[in-house]
Amino acid sequence: MLIGAAVLDQLHRPAQQRTWYGRIAGLPYDFRLPTVERVRATFWNKNTSRLFMPQVFGVGWSINFYPLLHPILENVL
């Protein structure tokens, strides 16, 4: 239901104003093709301590594994 609402929101905009990412009902969404940079910034972002990051593709959040695993890996390596 939220995916449809997000797509409709984008389609109701003029073509030059469509970004294919944003928020719907407080949830982040992103329908752009993922890039290596965005995947890395979502799942292994050392520039933030945030654990939950907006999805690299789709609706909702993903886990940023860097703050979870980096302290462990630092002690192992």
Give the torsion sign (CA, 14, 15, 17, 18). Answer: positive
Report how far residue 49's alpha carbon sits from residue 44's, in angstroms, rounded to the nearest whole number: 11
**Count of domains forming the chain:** 1
Q: Is the pLDDT score of 77 beyond 70?
A: no
User: 44 in the Ramachandran plot: left (φ > 0), alpha (ψ -120 to 50) or beta?
Assistant: beta
Please give the C-alpha separations between residue 22 and each of 4, 16, 73, in angstroms, as whole numbers. 13, 15, 34
Q: Can you give the residue range of the structural domain that contains 63?
A: 2-76
Residue 25 tokens, joined = 């009902």
User: What pLDDT is attached to residue 71?
Assistant: 77
Q: What is the pLDDT of residues 5-41, one digit of tens each?
A: 999 999 999 999 999 999 999 999 999 999 999 999 9
For residue 1, name the pLDDT band (cuts at 50, 70, 90). confident
Is 18 strand, coil or helix? coil
Q: What is the pLDDT of residues 39-60, one digit of tens each?
A: 999 999 999 999 999 999 999 9
